[in-house]
């Protein structure tokens, strides 16, 4: 299959699709803010893993097949409807709404498989002869699990996640040709939208409270945390990531995409969800303490985001990394600060991220934000 155009960009329909998908992120955030117990964290982590696998499938789909005909656009609408059903079911996915989650997921998978089968090229179909049945197996496990008691649901949905984890290594995915700029832009846009949705947590957390200087300070600190997370991901510019991804041997690029934009981004989005849930709680308890679980969701989420960013850049060989790895550990210090008062937790998070970014650039001998701080291998 020939290499797609390097200049291919994300269409407005894909962006609209992403807006629907991000509703699942919003629902996960709300559910985690409502219940920060370890069992709830485990449930949300499993659901996010299942969702990110299917979102990734659509990113690969539109990277290879443009949704540029009425039939394809209509099928994309059906896929969006499936994600909408999933989103609505998330708050009680392990309860009475499991059936809706399962049906929505099966619909999303069926549309994905149908579009790849009908519109994919010869090489794509070679890979999809194995990938398609594995996707169908995981979707069937999720569908059946949605109608079973909660213990069986756990078992079946975990089995589905394991199938998805193994699928890329059981298929000749190297035959997929990737449009580098489209792939990088698509995932970057989703990160921006998810971070933007996180801002809503500030308003939700402040709802019903009297606006005073402490609330306002906390809101600004929360905004700064989210901004610095944006800076961590985008500070070097998309072109840095594109250049690093383009430098990968085309024969290895598909597998690198699985690792960098699949597994590493799963951690990035898990971190975003957890930080947003923590922000909601911290704004609601600016002068009061958070429970250990609530503080751990916020500080642990920030640590996961940083560690996943390190993994993402390590896979793509983007340097430097050391300061980010240290910051991932330092972010755990946010937990005790948040247990004292929400505003202290937010302030500690801002401090960790700011110091890390300043020291990172100082170590490179450049001013803060200078893109020359990033180094990537050159394409052969």
Mean pLDDT score, 275-304: 90
| CB distance 102 to 143 below 8 Å | yes
Whole-number pLDDT of residue 120:
58
Cα atoms in the Cβ-side hemisphere of radius 13 Å centred on 336: 2
Confidence of residue 374 (pLDDT cuts 50, 70, 90): low
The arithmetic mean of pLDDT across residues 150-169, rounded, is 95
Q: What is the mean pLDDT of residues 102-121?
A: 85
Q: What is the pLDDT of residue 376?
A: 60
Name the strand (E) or helix (H) holding 232: helix 213-234
**Rg, the chain, Cα only:** 21
Q: State pLDDT tens for residues 196-243.
A: 888 888 888 888 788 889 999 999 999 999 999 999 999 867 889 999
Sign (positive or negative) of CA dihedral 118, 60, 140, 75: negative
363 band by pLDDT with thresholds 50, 70 and 90:
confident
Kindly indicate the confidence band of residue 174, based on its pLDDT and cuts at 50, 70 and 90. confident
| C-beta separation of 11 from 62 below 8 A | yes
Residue pair 254/295 in contact by the 8 Å Cβ criterion: no
171 with 131: CB under 8 angstroms?
yes
Task: Give me the residue spans of the domains in the chain.
Answer: 12-175, 180-373
- pLDDT given for residue 1 in this prediction: 38
Q: Which residues of 313-349 are buried (b: 16+ CB within 10 A; e: fewer)?
A: bbbbebeeeebbbbbbebbeebbebbbebbbbbbbbb
Instruction: Examine residue 320 and say whether the peptide bond preceding it is cis (omega within 30 degrees of 0).
Output: yes
Q: How is residue 157 written in tokens?
A: 């949905």
Q: What angle do CA 368, 369, 372 make, to 5 degrees?
A: 105
């Amino acid at each position: 299959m020939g290499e797609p155009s390097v200049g291919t960009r994300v269409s407005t329909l894909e962006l609209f699709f992403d807006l629907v998908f991000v509703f699942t992120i919003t629902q996960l955030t709300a559910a985690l803010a409502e219940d920060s117990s370890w069992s709830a964290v485990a449930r949300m982590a499993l659901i996010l893993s299942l969702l990110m696998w299917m979102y990734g499938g659509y990113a690969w789909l539109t990277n290879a097949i443009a949704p540029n005909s009425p039939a394809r656009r209509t099928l994309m609408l059906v896929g969006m409807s499936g994600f909408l059903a999933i989103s609505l079911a998330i708050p009680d996915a392990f309860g009475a709404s499991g059936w809706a989650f399962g049906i929505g997921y099966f619909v999303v998978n069926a549309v994905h498989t149908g579009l790849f089968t009908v519109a994919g090229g010869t090489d794509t179909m070679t890979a999809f002869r194995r990938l398609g049945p594995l996707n169908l197996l995981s979707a069937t496990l999720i569908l059946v699990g949605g109608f079973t008691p909660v213990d069986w649901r756990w078992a079946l949905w975990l089995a589905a996640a394991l199938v998805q984890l193994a699928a890329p290594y059981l298929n000749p995915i190297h035959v997929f040709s990737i449009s580098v700029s489209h792939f990088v832009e698509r995932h970057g846009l989703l990160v921006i939208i998810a971070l933007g949705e996180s801002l809503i947590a500030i308003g939700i957390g402040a709802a019903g409270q009297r606006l005073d200087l402490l609330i306002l300070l906390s809101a600004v600190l929360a905004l700064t945390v989210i901004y610095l997370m944006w800076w961590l991901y985008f500070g070097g510019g998309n072109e840095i990531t594109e250049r690093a991804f383009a430098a990968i041997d085309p024969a290895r690029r598909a597998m690198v995409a699985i690792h960098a934009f699949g597994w590493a981004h799963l951690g990035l989005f898990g971190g975003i969800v957890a930080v947003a849930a923590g922000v909601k709680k911290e704004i609601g308890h600016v002068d009061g303490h958070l429970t250990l679980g609530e503080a751990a969701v916020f500080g642990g989420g920030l640590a996961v985001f940083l560690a996943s960013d390190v993994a993402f850049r390590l896979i793509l060989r983007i340097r430097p990394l050391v300061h980010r790895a240290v910051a991932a550990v330092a972010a755990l210090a946010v937990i005790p600060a948040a247990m004292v008062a929400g505003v202290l937790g937010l302030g500690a998070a801002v401090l960790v991220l700011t110091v890390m970014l300043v020291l990172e650039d100082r170590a490179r001998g450049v001013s803060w934000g200078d893109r020359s701080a990033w180094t990537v291998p050159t394409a052969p």
